Amino acid sequence: EAGVTQFPSHSVIEKGQTVTLRCDPISGHDNLYWYRRVMGKEIKFLLHFVKESKQDESGMPNNRFLAERTGGTYSTLKVQPAELEDSGVYFCASSPGVYTEAFFGQGTRLTVV
C-alpha cells in the first residue's frame, strides 16, 4: 500500500511568487495534518483536516497560507505571496482517526530566495 506522498519534493521560488504543495494521504485516511519545520526550529503543527473540513487551523501562520482538501482526498497548501521566512520543510501526515497512528510523508523542501 502506498504511503503518504508529497509533491514536489523540493521547490525553489522567488520571494513574492506563489507555490502550491500537494499531499496525497493514505487511501481511506480521513485525518490529514500539515506541519512545517523552518531552519533551526522544531516541527510545528499547521492544521488538521477531517475529511474535507478544517478541524483545527490554529497553527497557520498568517493569511498568506491557504489549505484545501478536495473531496476529502488529497490536500494542497498554497503560499501566496511567499516570503523568505516561509523556507523550510513542509510535512503532511494522515491517519484513520485521531487516536490512531499518523503516518508522515517525506516532506517538501521549500526554498524562497
Are 94 and 5 a contacting pair, CB within 8 Å? no
User: Which of 16/100 has CB closer to other proteins?
Assistant: 100
User: Which of 17/100 has CB closer to other proteins?
Assistant: 100
Q: Which of 16, 8, 6, 34 is nearest to 86 (CA)?
A: 16
- C-alpha cell, 43: 516541527
Enumerate binding residues for other proteins (CB under 8 A). Answer: 4, 31, 33, 35, 41-45, 48, 56, 91, 93, 95, 98-107
User: Which of 33/65 has CB closer to other proteins?
Assistant: 33
